[in-house]
């Protein structure tokens, strides 16, 4: 049975993972599409089969060749990320709606794929300075990966109008309530 799809996209550091995790905790009707990725696991905070399926580049390439992805991308130099068809089957078969945490290009590709079954939400920070501060505070980036993310963020901002909704994530409580309202209205 086909359910619905809730797509959250944003420049890295905007808060989409925080919002998606909150929605998952509050809504048993949602199932997270676990992406495949070749990037290194963030040791203490991430696990295989929960945050991502962490694959080697060879394993990832094998899945591309076997046509197992709806969409995939080289998001940051050398690191591949992709949405597995089997994830949507798994979540919809359980009678749930699927929720995605993907980059901006991936979000637009998913919207194209799911059409009216999907609500595509662009999460935006009030400014690039705020984005930089959040990425710094998160403590996950080197100087190089931080500047890569900020460079890409400027480019990604230009796609916001192609999304169904833009959610400005300034005060977290307000954003979480707004995200919940968007899901309730869409269901
Ligand atoms: N296109 C695409 N992007 C993805 C997928 N999974 C994750 N991403 C995006 O890849 C980017 C990098 O993710 P990650 O390394 O976890 O960094 P973070 O966004 O800084 O937490 C983020 O924008 C993710 O939303 C996917 O399946 N497809
Ligand atoms: N509204 C907010 N105000 C302040 N900090 C926030 C807010 N939303 C998220 N954060 C923090 O900003 C950092 C980046 O958020 P995260 O959800 O990892 O972003 P993304 O998944 O878009 O890369 C995290 O440390 C998170 O706790």
Q: What is the ipTM of this complex?
A: 0.93
pLDDT (0 to 100) of residue 144: 85
Q: Which CATH code is given to the segment(s) 5-186?
A: 3.40.50.300
Domain spans of the chain? 5-186
Closest ligand by atom to 169 CA: 2
Which protein residue's CA is at the shortest distance from atom 9 of ligand 2? Answer: 15
Give the CA distances from residue 4 to residues 1, 82, 94, 148, in Å, rounded to whole numbers and listed in that order.
10, 19, 12, 33
- For the entire predicted model, the pTM comes to 0.93
Residue 15, pLDDT > 70, answer yes
CA 49 to ligand 1 center in whole angstroms: 15
Digit-coded pLDDT (tens) for 108-155: 999 999 999 999 999 999 998 999 998 888 888 888 888 888 888 989
Distance of CA 55 to the CA centre of its chain: 18
């Amino acid at each position: 049975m086909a359910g619905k799809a809730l797509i959250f996209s944003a420049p890295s550091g905007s808060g989409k993972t925080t919002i998606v995790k909150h929605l998952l905790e509050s809504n048993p009707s949602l199932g997270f599409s676990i992406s495949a990725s070749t990037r290194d696991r963030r040791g203490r905070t991430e696990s295989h089969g929960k945050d991502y399926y962490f694959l080697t580049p060879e394993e990832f390439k094998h899945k591309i060749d076997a046509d197992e992805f709806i969409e995939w991308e080289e998001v940051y130099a050398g690191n591949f990320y992709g949405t597995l068809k089997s994830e949507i089957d798994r979540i919809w078969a359980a009678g749930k709606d699927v929720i995605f945490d993907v980059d901006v290009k991936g979000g637009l590709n998913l919207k194209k794929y799911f059409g009216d079954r999907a609500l595509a939400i662009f999460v935006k920070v009030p400014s690039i300075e705020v984005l930089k501060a959040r990425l710094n505070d998160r403590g996950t980036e080197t100087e190089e990966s931080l500047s890569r993310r900020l460079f890409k963020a400027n480019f990604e901002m230009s796609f916001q109008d192609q999304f169904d909704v833009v959610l400005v994530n300034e005060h977290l409580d307000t954003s979480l309530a707004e995200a919940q309202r968007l899901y309730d209205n869409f269901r």
